[in-house]
Amino acid sequence: MIQSLLIANRGEIACRIIRTARAMGIRTIAVYSDADANALHVRMADDAVHIGASAARESYLVGEKLIDVARVTGAEAIHPGYGFLSENAEFAQRVISAGITWVGPNPASITAMGLKDAAKQLMQQAGVPVTPGYMGSNQDAGFLAIQADGIGYPVLIKAVAGGGGKGMRLVERPEDFADALASCRREAAASFGNDHVLIEKYIQRPRHIEVQVFGDSHGQIVHLFERDCSLQRRHQKVIEEAPAPGMDAETREALCAAAVRAAKAVDYVGAGTIEFIADASEGLRADRIWFMEMNTRLQVEHPVTEAITGVDLVEWQLRIASGERLPMTQDQLAINGWAMEARLYAEDPEKGFLPSIGKLEHLVLPDSLRVDTGVEQGGEVSPFYDPMIAKLIAHGTTRDEAIARLEAGIDDTEVWPVKTNAGFLGNLLRHPEFLSGDVDTGLIGRDGDELVHPIEAEVDELTEVAALLAASPGEGPWSGALGFRLNAAPHAVARLRDDAGTVYEVSLSEVNAAEPAREILAFTGGFARRYTLDRHEGAHGGVAGDGTILSPMPGRIIAVDVTAGQAVTKGQKLLTLEAMKMEHTLTAPFDGVVAELNAVAGAQVQVEALLVRIQDAAS
């Protein structure tokens, strides 16, 4: 068994690996960048070594630094986690050549499955059905447009080296193809160093079903059943569950058998995931499920598989890397209950899900769920990495029970002042289509506006907040505030204002003004509100937007689509900002004219830098 392990990653997955390694008596070595000097994974590990500047390309993506740290600290093995170098075959080979155990598949397997086009060709040879599309080497833009026409719109443009939703564009009309291709290639080059793409038929009612597979070095491969990851936003998974709703035994057997064939085709060793796309227009059927790609690493959503099988997949990884056989046979594996995982992100759903960075001054995560996290109260969400705060995992006897437990856990989640998607997640769990199990990857895109809308503040919440904010008699915007009595009939009225500018008039029947507060934080259904007393008569509603477009975070401008003085319409693209490994499109808030333009392609900008100012066309 491995005795010492270097974890070539950070955040939540580094903490997750440390927990299992510690339980197995394995010494752990963490690595960290400047931005992560005080991170939780650094403090949890037995040893920690600084590896460079905050930018991942100067720290977590520098393979030689990681191998050097392993040598210096005496680490016998390297676990790459997910992301960064986890699916980099060259790095895996360098680790092995250095005499260090690689906790992952053979480099040849990573290479075989690393490029989507080559992987699909290999799967066809292995008898695994694949989605219709173009996977050839001709990357001429005009030629690709012709292929898209032949496949038939809508189509997906996908980076052959892509993953995690990056380097992927849905194109619904021929006239949008060129721009989408250019944007996809830019993002692919920045994220993976490879701008080659494939074109794939877009399934109109798609579901994303994946199968967890595991192989050992003795030739044995098993599956650990399927997960449904259909709830996605811009091709990034939001809520995952296992098993897949609507999956019958016959379809499951065919799907999982195809996944095992796929893994055997590349002599797979370790943890991997075979991802499929299903046409759910007539329910889940084996003849309407096609191979998409293989992830040759541990998946972010692996905890739901652990929950329904009782298996610790990280422990299996470490045992297999040590040369042991698979701990269980296929016959010994079974599904127990239902599990769901929600990804809690530092992002602002009401502002197009732009990442939210800053200090986690207030952080409460539910103790009723399994919570995998890499942060704690007082920590910081950095602009340099993925903005995940935690994974919330619920397990129940039935799907309804798992949903109820996850929803209750989200209700107990409190984060401030960093914005999160917690309320959005709660709304998703209450969505009628999700509750019925009738989900597809387009659900969030169809109902996004409703899903980001905060639920109404409850009367009890407003009353309690008003009481806590109560000043001494005669002060503040009160009506009949003299002579408060506990449990008296309502005779005082408070005016409260929340962060959105909404004003509430609250009648008070129970007030304790001994310790008045200046502001109150309230959390309901995952939504956070900060209340203060409204001291301005008639100040109902929020402040109207003035048309200033500020940079939501530090980043680089990669495209400017307007000029000074140009007329624009509401929703029109103004510019594209690259930040946190993603492209973010900033659009016009209303019809108007570009009155001021401070954006230049290629320029680096800081958070809240004024980029564009739109003047209302009516003014």
Which positions are annotated as active-site residues? Answer: 297
Contacts of 411 (CB under 8 A, 6+ apart): 426, 523, 524, 525, 526
> What is the DSSP pairing of strand 4-7 with strand 27-33?
parallel
What's 234's DSSP letter?
A: T
Question: Is the torsion defined by CA of 466, 472, 477, 479 positive or negative?
Answer: positive
Residue 11, Cβ neighbours under 10 Å: how many?
A: 22
Burial 358-373 (b: 16+ CB within 10 A, else e): eebeebebbeebbbbb
111: tokens are: 């290479």
Rounded Cα distance between 510 and 503, Å, is 20
Contacts of 569 (CB under 8 A, 6+ apart): 588, 591
Tokens of 498: 């929340």
List CB contacts of 27: < 8 A, sequence separation 6 or more: 3, 4, 5, 21, 46, 47
For residue 302, how far is the Cα from the chain centroid?
A: 14
- Torsion sign, CA atoms 477, 478, 484, 487: negative
State how far the Cα of 254 lies from the Cα of 584, in Å rounded to an integer.
40
Closest listed residue to residue 572, CA positions, set 558, 586, 582: 586
State how far the Cα of 345 lies from the Cα of 386, in Å rounded to an integer: 9
- Both tokens of 126, joined, read 């292995």
Taking the alpha carbons at both ends of the chain, their separation in whole angstroms is 73
Helix axes 107-114, 89-97, angle to 10 degrees: 170
